[in-house]
Each structure stands twice: as structure tokens, then as C-alpha cells.
Chains A and B, each alone.
Chain A
């Protein structure tokens, strides 16, 4: 359908629209017009992505600025889905407009997912793929090849050089799959195609990290202009991504490997000193002059990028004591040895970066400044030495990253040394965490740089938490409720088992046999009544594993086997994919299956369980984070002191956003239906923290159920869902046709006019004007009517045009 929002003509690829979709578009446009940021919560499964894309593409194409859209999502599944929707949207637009628009949309994911090189793509680990790719595609490799030396290259990459640099791939929207296929046909690298075409795209869809992680964004997203529209979809977890991108760990193992890497470097340096002294000298001279500019920026793919944010980089030459290659390696080795001695301590240490640096200086005379340049210096050295087997130097790279970060940031960061893996462990396995506590640090450059940032998700309540944590101001903050013609989902809170004993996964009771048995009965009962697929979420891996073992011992799984197949998320991603595929097959085939997974795990992110893939979602326990974690404790303390967010508020908010996220997985469209079961005594009090649309659907009578009450209520619900439900029943209520939308728009226009009039009345509040006012109102009436007609007329014309 085709309609106007103010002056903007929007093409929406469906003949109908949900009311919340329209409201979402209106607010989105308001934000873009104002050039500000917004936080929008739109119920899961109401077509958020297509709404967003329709409006923004319309906006891009209509206004002369043609602002680029940067759409960030979390997982590759989400990216692919968004690309597919975008492709369908553009197809629809072409049909309606009668011509293909000059438009390019591309997605980017890591090399591992886009590689076509026959041997590199088979590597199991993503970082190995990266390293091997770099050693095949680095600039000097090509130079060597041209000189006639026998070096390995990647045909797929080198083929790109013969193409026009701004036209590596034809116009249109390319899904990741499509790009892979195109790359295979034309023997060109999909990864570099996407990366180099980034500047020539109207829409870019990629993962958060490409914008938030300085190690990546510096290279990939540097050239994007300021007026880009940035969208973070599924953003309920964005603060964690921010924190992750500036945190790192050092282990004893990585230090050992780093030492070896440093030794390798030394040999390489002495080799080069023997054979090609000039190169090292050149490098030294460049460093003296502080020349870092030209040729470096062209290196799209150096060994590593600086892990610190662009604003925090020092714009000066590399300090003298690490300019010479051999000096730098010696410096690195000294630092590694220091870290090794720190690791020997057998008690937990938590300190701030300044205190760490002071201690470091005291013992090794290593200054802060050269430490800050570690990452950059290492990159330069690796390039000078023309190293090809880069993966050997990865641990060294980790150490350099750590060094740069610890020397750059003082506030909002903490160093924690944990000598033992857990409180009960006997064998030490020390880890030095460098942890970022403040999510606002990583995202600040994004807010500074781009004028419109949209943060949106199906479950992002409470909305005010995000501006607070991430440090920004919004133009619009809105949570939409879900208009429904029938209750298409049934949220329930189960607080007691069939024996009326309360159930909870709180630490004290969660392993008690009676609680485990009650949870088991709940699972069995719902497995019995649920058609097709059922998804169960546990608060953690550890608990899931122990409860499954206990259920097996109690014979509960044998009961579940009677009704469904059982599949479990495992630590191995490939195995889990396979399990997921089996699960989906069993759901389609009618056999039915239960999928057991973890609320913060791999499956809960980016995989949908709509329609038959999930008729019941069972959330066992409140998915709290592990509160004994020292990193979490440090963060809580930071939040309290800096942003005045109470510990319990944050913990509870964090748990509920994940619970809500799990619940939202089961809906897609208003003809879908599903049961949402929250099984924990503690959910009762946390109800208000659920997103508005779930909370509204949760009846008071359903908030304190025992297992058998929940089952009978669920039965009734499923029976009612089995009744025929015609599209007509929804019309005008939860789905709008063109006429409904027009009525709504007219009403909104009317309301607005009335509001304006009231305002004016207020302004003209003096008694003298009363009469004149009446006259004006009379005069205005026909005017406003005329305006409305005009609007309608424009629409009619637009309709006719099709």
C-alpha cells in the first residue's frame, strides 16, 4: 500500500498494515526530521524490520540528501533476514514505481562466513580464517607476486582489482547468500566486494561490532558520512556489546604463546637485518618523522587496528624507545615477563588502570606512553617484516591490545586478576581481566558522529534505562502496545508446582529434588498439550546441564519422550545448528520436539520460533546473571556510583529483558499464536518490568498459577486458538486496510488541528479577542476541511497512478 506521512510518500509492501507499524513510522520520521536519537520498543513479531526499512528507504529516496542507512543487527541470521526483507521491499517499490531505482544494499559479516577460497574457508576457527586471508591478500604479497616470486595468493581477492572499484557488483540488494553465489560465479571475493562497496551503498546491514568495536570500525566504517541514519536493531543487549568491545582477557597460556611470538619476531628481525637492512631503516625513519598517514590508511587490512577509540588516539610520533624493531621486541618481552609474574599471585586482585601502571613502572620502568603505542607499533613491524603466517602472532596481538587499552583508559575500567576458575577449584588457572564497566564509552563516538541513531527492539523496557546507561538524549521514546482482535498469545506466571510448593531457580533451592521434580512435571505437562514445537529456556548452561541429568535420573525425560523428541543446545555451535535443524524438521513433520536451551545462549539470539516452530515457550527460572561474578559486581558498583542505578534494579532489569526476549521468539504476525510460561515464584513481583505489550496481555488471574491451573488454562487457550479465525475479524482492529488508515490519518489531522486551536485559544486568552476568535474559528473551519481534502486527493492520485 501507498500512503503519505506528512509530505513523505511511503511504499509499504503489504496491502494492509498493523496500527503499531504506522505509529512506529510516524515516530521514526519525527526523529529523522529532528535529526536526533530515539528508543522505540515495538512488540515482537509485528514486522518491525519491514516497517523500519519501508520508512527509511522512502525517506532516502524522497529527500535530496539521500541519507545512507547503516542498519546494525546482532547475528548473521538477523542480517540475512533483514536483507531478504529489504530485497522484497525494493522489488515491491520497483513494481509500484514502474522502474528500478538506483539502489544498492549490501550486508557484511566476518570473513569466515563469506570466504570462497577453497582451503581457507574450511578452517574451523574464524580468527584463523582472518589470519590466513590476510596473509594471502596483503599488499606486499601482491607486489611479490608481480616481481615473480612464488607466493600464495587468493584469486578471488585479486580478481577484484580488475573491476571498476566503484562497481564491483551490480545495483540491487544482495543477500549474503546471493553475494556468495555471485562471488562464486564471477570468481570474486564476497567479503572484499562488500567491504569496498560500502561507500557506494544506500543501505548497509552489518553487525554491531563494525560500528562499536574500535578495532574493526576504524577500518570498515571510517568513511561513512555524518548524516547516515544509524539503526541498532534488537538493541536490548547493546550495552553488553559496547562493554565487550573494549574488554579483553589475558591468560597464562596466551602469555606463553606471546613469548614464543616475540621470539619469532626476533629471529625475523635478525634475518632481515642480515638480508635487507634497508627496510628496517626505512621504517625507523618514517617513525621518527611520525609519518603514519598516507600508505597506512590505504591498507584496508593491516595486521590489527588500534583497539582504542579514535578520539583517544595520540596524534604524535611513536616514542623513541620503541622505534627500533629490536628495542620494541625487547620492550614487549619485558612487559610479558612482568605480566607472568603478576599471574603468579594466588589471591584475587582488583585494581584500576592507574594503579596497575604505577606498579608496572615501579618494577620494570615501562612508561605509560610507549605502552599506548604498542598495538600500532606491532602493526607497523609486522608489515615491515612482511610476515605471512600471521596466526602465530595472535597471542602477541592480544597482549599488545591489552597494553594499549590499559595505558589509554583510566576511568570506567578495572583490572581483575582471578587466580582460580571458581571458588572451589584447587588448581590455579589465572586470568587477568581488563574489563570495561561503562557502556557509554564505546558508543559515544557513534552518537557524536551520527545525527540520527535509532535504538529499537521488541523488548527494550524500561526505555529510560538505555539513554541513562549509554549517555544520550532522545527525541522520541516510545513503547507500542499490541492491538489484537483475539488473544493470540497467553502469558502466564507459574509460581507453584502441582503440590503447591513454590518453584524457583534461586541459588538456595534450585537443586532441591522437589523443585527439580516440579519443573519436570511442568515440562512434561506442557510437552503433552503443546502441538509441534516447544522451547524451554534455562537461566544458565550449568543449571541446564545439572537439571537435565537429574530429570533423566527421575525418569522425567522418559515421560517427555512419549510426546516429543528432545534436543539440547550444546557448547558446540555446529552441533547445535544440527540439533536446531532436526528440531525444525520434527516441528514441520508433525512429530513435535522440545528444544532445551539457555536464555543468554546461542539459540536465544537471532533464531525465531514462530508458528509451528514454537507453540510454547517455557522460561524456567528468572535468567539472572551469576551474581558472584567479580566483573558483574564491579559493574554494578560502577553503575550505582556513576549513574545512580541501584544494583537490584539493574540485575532485575537485565534478567527481565532476557526473559522477555525469550518470550518474544514465538510470535510472528497476528495470526500466529503461542503460550508464554514464566515459571518462577519471583516473576510475580517482576511483572511490571516486562515490556508493555506482554504485560498488557497478562491477566491478573494468570500471575500466580500452579502447574495444573496453568495447564488447564493453556488447554482452554489452545482450544480457542483452534477455532477458525478469519482475516475479516481483525480488520479495522488489529489490521488496517487503506480506508482504515485514511480514517485514522484524518482523525489525527483533526486532533492536531484541534490541539493547535486550543493552543491558540490559550494564547489569545484575553477577553477582548473572544469575539474575533469566534470569527476566526469560523473562517478556519473550511480551511482545515480543505486541507484534509487535499491530503486525500493526493492519496487518490497516488493510488490512481498505480
Chain B
């Protein structure tokens, strides 16, 4: 295929834009086009492409490069196609090739992807630039603010109707009295169009999550019979790790050696625990060799805090207030009551914990100042907003919903023809009943390998005649391929089988609770530890993937650490399995001895009932986890080499 090229101006200089021979970079050379390229962009590094819509007179292509360093703004290159006649086709050809290359690089199955070219959208021509190709989908978090999203979200609407009985009644009444000409769908849209705010608040309500809390303050270990009893659940363990990275480190370094339970009970008795809670450590407190080798000066103990604050807004800057004395500190020393002692650990702990918990929330004031730093005067405006007396500001902006009847032309039929667009003309020609019939026919023919119907199989790429499993070279498995389908089937059957074996050792009268407490015949306490180990492993995996997928070279060191912790996790599981095996053997031996004794005493043989649990069982329980650990490790190794 011939490499497309085009005449394009970059920074008001004419030149030629094209791709290199091997199609790895985009280059632009100033006219006459013989010299070395001035702009050269690796296709790999292109983040996004934007093109003016076809209806626009100007033809421009904007290439957005991935930020070269974390935190810097992505560089954008704007090429203006200047060819008097061929500008549009040149640009289209170039863009089509580029987007093809980019999508290929990202490993998306190109033939199965929807047509990447955005349709020429006549109505959106007012926007100078429309997204020609949204390679990066927007995060879904913003959808609360998108009216159309809300209007289209049937599930959300239903849940709101469920909640609000009055509204539901209104809805039903309105539906019953709606004019015949209005379809259900457009009725729905009209109905919700005036109630977007309700939908939005409902959506936000549904998505509200409880924030994290100070976990150590909620755990109350009790001492019973000289033994520390505590209930820890998975969530709490995760929170402890998150809020106190040091504990995570110690856990990671020690747990295969130490059992899970021992680790936690020792932790809650250690000096470290007291320090983390900000309590004073008394001299008579026992020192624990594992936890208490970290003293207060250890940087790992202190929670890392970002002291490189950009700028604290002046209206809450206490440090600046203290310096506001014209440079001369006069006055007598404060009296003894007002002089802080400064060595109160609890005070520091309270602050750093609260800061830790709020770390993931964008700071109110910071956001304000950094946003305003760019715009200048806006900071004063936002400060004023905070200072202004709201109730003196006259009538609040009227907060009613303006009834905005769209498609008013519908009600005035004599005007309709003049204003109807092409689109509505298409609809006009359609007879609803016929369209409905056609759709129903489509649905009915779903299960056939449809002629004219919708072919679900094809849409996910099922090809029964494919011989991919016979072929030597293994192509990338796509969703509908034979291999993938078989895999899915196997997995389901497998898990069903496992579920069955899991319950088989239980007698019929056992209830669910005991299935939960000792799955596959594993003794309850081991099972409990299995759960905890699994949770912590999952946490480590999560962090591994977080670092691994970030692709950030700066995190290599961290990644190595995470990979190592994965190794330790395997070791932990093995240790658990070994322990379970030992318990199992003990139990089996005891059973055997009992049977033998019984035989000796009575001469009767008792039937040997196989005992569950043991190494096999534990490993089976962890099978999925282990697989993911191995996958992660092998990927890491592949990437590291």
C-alpha cells in the first residue's frame, strides 16, 4: 500500500506530511520537501487524533502526543492541509492510516472494530474540531452531568420510580393519557427531560460511597484467658495496610515464617501498635522483636506527607499570619500554659491519619488556587464568593425548570414541511407498524444463522468452520473463537465440579454456615486464615497490577518490590497448605489408630471414611489465586527480560 502524503502547513510554514517507509513515525518536512524532517512523531507516542469535520472549510489535523514525562502537558501538533483541491482526501487518507496503525499497536482486533471514521455530522459543524476518533474513551464518572446519558439510563429511571411512589404514579398516569402519536420511547424522553435534576440526584445518591475511616480505632482486641481475641475482617486488613504501610512491609517480610493469626495478635500487643495509635509507650511494655525494631525516627513509620505544597491560599495561611508583624518579633515570651510541649505523639498521629484518609480527595482550597493560578484574577473572585453575604445578594437566580417544548413544529402541522430536515423526512416515510414488524422479525430470526436477521454469532466473531485450533500458529484469541468458547465452557463446568466436591464431605443436614466455615473439609481455623491470606494476596496483586500497568519507568523499583511480594504470597499459600497437610495427616493417623484400636478391642472393622482438607484442598481453594499469581509473575519476568 502506498504511503499517503499531503501538503500541510505546520506553524504557518508549508511543508509535506507523510509517514516513514516502515510506518513507525509521522514526519513533516518543510517545502521543498527534500530536507530532513522537522517534526517527527513516533506512531507509538501518539495519544489522540483530531480532525476538522468534513463540512468545515478548513482541513486540519491535530496530533496529540503522549506526555513525555509524567505530569507535563501533552504536546499537540496542528497540521493545516493546504492543497487547494485535494486537502480533504489527503487528510482523510493520512488519518485513516494513522488510526489504523494506532489501533493495531494497541492490540485491538482491527477487523472487528466498528468503523473508526466518525460520520460527517452536519449539525455539529459549529464545533471547529470534533473528535474524529476517540481512542481514549472518557471515564464514566462524568456521566452524571451528561443529560443524555441520564435520559437514556432506563435502569436508573426505574430505580428512581421504585423509590418515589408519587413520581411513579405520575408516570403511570402520564403514560396512560399520552397521545397515541407519541411513542413510548419519546414519551419517556419527554417525561424525564423535565426531571433531569431528580435523575441526577438519584444517580449521585446511588453512587455515594462511604469514605474510609481510622481503622485502628475500630478494632478492639480483648484478652480472654490470657489470650488475645480479635475479629479482623478482610476490609479491615486492607485498610490497615493502606493506612499504615509499615505494617504491610512487616507483614510481607514475616508472614510465611509467622502464621497469620500470630502476626496479628502480636501486632496488637506490640509497641508499634501503640505508636501508630499515638499512645505513649511505657517502659514496662514488652518489646516485640519483629515490630519494635522500628523506632520513631524510622522514616517508614512516619506517613509520607507532601510538604511540597504548591501554595496555601492566603486566607487560611497560618504561617503567613504569624509572619505578619512587619518583620520584628517583639513582645514577651508566652506563659507556660501557652507554650506547647511539642512531643505529644497523639497530636501528630491525629493529623497525619486524617490527612491520610483525605488523601484521595481533591483539596478544596488547593484546587481553587491551582485553577486560579492560570487565570489570574479568578482567585480573587473565588475568594470573594466565599466572603460574600449570600442573603444580601438580591433574588436568587430563579430555580425553576423552564418548560422547553422541543419540536414545536409537531403541533403546528402546516409549518412542518418547511423546517423538516432530511432526517425527519426519512422517519416520515416509515410506517411505524412496518418498522415494528421488521424488528420483531429480526428478533425471531436471532437463533438462525440468519439470512437478513441479526447474527449475534457473527457479531462476536463465532466461526464454526474456523480451524484455528488445528492450525499451528496460534493467533490471538478473540472473543468468539472456538478456543475461547471452549475455555469458557470448561471453566464453567470445572467450577461446577469444584463446587460439588467442596460440599461433598458434608453431611446432608449441614447448613450453609458450616460450608462457609470449612470448605472442602478444611478445618475452620485454617479456612479462616485462608480467607485472610487470600484477601491480602488479592491486595498485593492489585498493587502489582497498578504499578505494572502504569508503565511508569520511575516505578520499576517499586514494581520489583511488588513482584517479590507476589513470590512471598505464593510462599504463604504453600505454608498454609503444608500446615493443612500436617493437620490432615494428624487427623488421618488418629482416625486410623482409632479404627485399629477399635478393631483390636472389638474385632470389628470400621469403614474408612476419607477425610477432607489437607494440602490438596487448600491448593484447590487457592487455585484461581495461584494462577493469577503465576500469570502476573510470568508477565513480569517477560517484561523484565
- Report which A residues bind B (CB closer than 8 A): 14-18, 46-47, 50, 74-77, 79-81, 84-85, 87-88, 109-113, 126-127, 130, 175-178, 181, 207, 209-210, 213, 215-216, 220, 243-249, 307, 421-422, 431, 433, 435, 539-543, 545, 548-549, 552-553, 557-558, 561-562, 565-568, 570-571, 573-589, 591, 593, 598, 600-603, 605-608, 625-626, 628-629, 631-632, 668-671, 727, 730, 735
For residue A568, which residues in chain B have a CB less than 8 angstroms away from its CB? 347, 350-351
Known: A579-B354, A631-B335. A574 touches B319 (CB 8 A): yes
**Contact between A87 and B380, CB atoms less than 8 A apart:** yes
A602: which of B211, B318, B335 is its contact (CB, 8 Å)?
A: B318
B363 within 8 A of A: yes
**Contact between A177 and B380, CB atoms less than 8 A apart:** yes
B242 to chain A, nearest CB (A): 16
**Contact between B327 and A216, CB atoms less than 8 A apart:** yes
Q: Mark B316-334, 1 if CB is under 8 A from A, else 0.
A: 1111111111111111110
Residue of B nearest to A133 (CB): B327
A251 to chain B, nearest CB (A): 9
B340: which of A16, A47, A541 is its contact (CB, 8 Å)?
A: A541
**Contact between B338 and A542, CB atoms less than 8 A apart:** yes
**Contact between B318 and A577, CB atoms less than 8 A apart:** yes
**Contact between B331 and A669, CB atoms less than 8 A apart:** no
B415 within 8 A of A: no
A581: which of B214, B312, B376 is its contact (CB, 8 Å)?
A: B312
B379 within 8 A of A: yes
For residue A549, which residues in chain B have a CB less than 8 angstroms away from its CB? 280, 344, 346
For residue A541, which residues in chain B have a CB less than 8 angstroms away from its CB? 337-341
**Contact between B326 and A561, CB atoms less than 8 A apart:** no
Stretch at the interface among B164-172, B391-399, B419-427: B391-399
Residue of A nearest to B349 (CB): A552
Q: Once bound together, how far apart are the Cα atoms of A167 and B339, in whole Å?
A: 45
B138 within 8 A of A: no
For residue A18, which residues in chain B have a CB less than 8 angstroms away from its CB? 392
**Contact between A578 and B384, CB atoms less than 8 A apart:** no
**Contact between A14 and B358, CB atoms less than 8 A apart:** no
**Contact between B351 and A558, CB atoms less than 8 A apart:** no
Residue of B nearest to A182 (CB): B376
A432 to chain B, nearest CB (A): 10
**Contact between B354 and A586, CB atoms less than 8 A apart:** yes
B217 within 8 A of A: yes
For residue A246, which residues in chain B have a CB less than 8 angstroms away from its CB? 330
**Contact between B391 and A126, CB atoms less than 8 A apart:** no
B383 within 8 A of A: yes
B320: which of A112, A215, A561 is its contact (CB, 8 Å)?
A: A112
For residue A589, which residues in chain B have a CB less than 8 angstroms away from its CB? 211, 358, 361, 364
> Can you list 18 A-B pairs, Cβ within 8 angstroms, ordered by A?
A18-B392, A76-B314, A84-B383, A113-B324, A177-B379, A244-B330, A245-B330, A431-B333, A548-B350, A549-B344, A552-B279, A589-B358, A589-B361, A591-B358, A669-B389, A671-B390, A727-B391, A730-B391
B105 within 8 A of A: no
Give the contacts of B464-523 with A (CB-CB under 8 A).
Answer: none
Known: A207-B326, A558-B217, A670-B391. A543 touches B337 (CB 8 A): yes
For residue A606, which residues in chain B have a CB less than 8 angstroms away from its CB? 321
Q: Once bound together, how far apart are the Cα atoms of A77 and B348, in whole Å?
A: 25
Residue of A nearest to B344 (CB): A545
Q: Once bound together, how far apart are the Cα atoms of A50 and B616, in whole Å?
A: 78
For residue B391, which residues in chain A have a CB less than 8 angstroms away from its CB? 16, 669-671, 727, 730, 735
For residue B387, which residues in chain A have a CB less than 8 angstroms away from its CB? 81, 84-85, 668
**Contact between B316 and A584, CB atoms less than 8 A apart:** yes
B253 within 8 A of A: no
Known: A549-B344, A668-B389, A727-B391. A181 touches B376 (CB 8 A): yes
For residue B344, which residues in chain A have a CB less than 8 angstroms away from its CB? 545, 548-549
Residue of A nearest to B305 (CB): A578
Q: Once bound together, how far apart are the Cα atoms of A605 and B317, in whole Å?
A: 11
B414 within 8 A of A: no
Chain B interface size, under 10 / 10 to 19 / 20 to 34 / 35 or more? 35 or more
Residue of B nearest to A630 (CB): B335
**Contact between A77 and B383, CB atoms less than 8 A apart:** no
B592 to chain A, nearest CB (A): 51
**Contact between A215 and B321, CB atoms less than 8 A apart:** no
Residue of B nearest to A416 (CB): B332
Among all A-B residue pairs, the 8 with the closest Cβ atoms: A244-B331, A15-B394, A540-B337, A14-B392, A75-B321, A216-B326, A573-B319, A571-B340
Q: Once bound together, how far apart are the Cα atoms of A625 and B336, in whole Å?
A: 10
Q: Once bound together, how far apart are the Cα atoms of A171 and B318, in whole Å?
A: 30
B279: which of A215, A553, A727 is its contact (CB, 8 Å)?
A: A553
For residue B153, which residues in chain A have a CB less than 8 angstroms away from its CB? none
Q: Once bound together, how far apart are the Cα atoms of A155 and B351, in whole Å?
A: 40
Q: Once bound together, how far apart are the Cα atoms of A625 and B332, in whole Å?
A: 14
**Contact between B332 and A178, CB atoms less than 8 A apart:** no
**Contact between B330 and A110, CB atoms less than 8 A apart:** no
Q: Once bound together, how far apart are the Cα atoms of A245 and B326, in whole Å?
A: 11
B301 within 8 A of A: no
B538 within 8 A of A: no
Residue of B nearest to A82 (CB): B387
B202 within 8 A of A: no
For residue B319, which residues in chain A have a CB less than 8 angstroms away from its CB? 573-574, 577
**Contact between B336 and A421, CB atoms less than 8 A apart:** yes
B315 within 8 A of A: yes
Give the contacts of B197-214 with A (CB-CB under 8 A).
Answer: 211, 213-214
A561: which of B218, B330, B341 is its contact (CB, 8 Å)?
A: B218
**Contact between A552 and B321, CB atoms less than 8 A apart:** no
Q: Which of B309, B331, B388 gathers the greatest number of chain A CB atoms within 10 Å?
A: B331
**Contact between B333 and A579, CB atoms less than 8 A apart:** no
Q: Once bound together, how far apart are the Cα atoms of A88 and B384, in whole Å?
A: 8
Task: Name 6 extra pairs, CB < 8 A, besides A46-B389, A244-B331.
Answer: A14-B393, A88-B384, A127-B329, A215-B326, A578-B305, A626-B336
For residue B436, which residues in chain A have a CB less than 8 angstroms away from its CB? none
B278 within 8 A of A: yes
B365 within 8 A of A: yes
Q: Once bound together, how far apart are the Cα atoms of A248 and B279, in whole Å?
A: 38
Q: Once bound together, how far apart are the Cα atoms of A80 and B318, in whole Å?
A: 13
Q: Once bound together, how far apart are the Cα atoms of A116 and B332, in whole Å?
A: 31
For residue B327, which residues in chain A have a CB less than 8 angstroms away from its CB? 110-112, 126-127, 130, 216
For residue A576, which residues in chain B have a CB less than 8 angstroms away from its CB? 318
**Contact between A81 and B355, CB atoms less than 8 A apart:** no
Q: Once bound together, how far apart are the Cα atoms of A561 and B346, in whole Å?
A: 13
Residue of B nearest to A109 (CB): B324
Q: Once bound together, how far apart are the Cα atoms of A561 and B364, in whole Å?
A: 22
Q: Mark B407-431, 1 if CB is under 8 A from A, else 0.
A: 0000000000000000000000000
B347: which of A17, A84, A545 is its contact (CB, 8 Å)?
A: A545
For residue A175, which residues in chain B have a CB less than 8 angstroms away from its CB? 380, 383
B599 to chain A, nearest CB (A): 59
**Contact between A579 and B351, CB atoms less than 8 A apart:** yes
**Contact between A602 and B217, CB atoms less than 8 A apart:** no
Q: Once bound together, how far apart are the Cα atoms of A75 and B322, in whole Å?
A: 8
B606 within 8 A of A: no
Known: A210-B326, A565-B354, A568-B350. A249 touches B332 (CB 8 A): yes
Known: A561-B213, A570-B347, A573-B322. A249 touches B333 (CB 8 A): yes
Known: A567-B350, A727-B395. A629 touches B335 (CB 8 A): yes
A216: which of B328, B333, B361, B364 is its contact (CB, 8 Å)?
A: B328
Q: Once bound together, how far apart are the Cα atoms of A671 and B333, in whole Å?
A: 41
B559 to chain A, nearest CB (A): 30
B578 within 8 A of A: no
**Contact between A110 and B323, CB atoms less than 8 A apart:** yes
A697 to chain B, nearest CB (A): 18
A772 to chain B, nearest CB (A): 49
A552: which of B278, B305, B318, B331 is its contact (CB, 8 Å)?
A: B278
Residue of B nearest to A401 (CB): B330
Q: Once bound together, how far apart are the Cα atoms of A727 and B330, in whole Å?
A: 48
Q: Mark B277-311, 1 if CB is under 8 A from A, else 0.
A: 11110000000000000000000000001010100
Q: Which of A75, A539, A589, A735 gathers the greatest number of chain B CB atoms within 10 Å?
A: A75
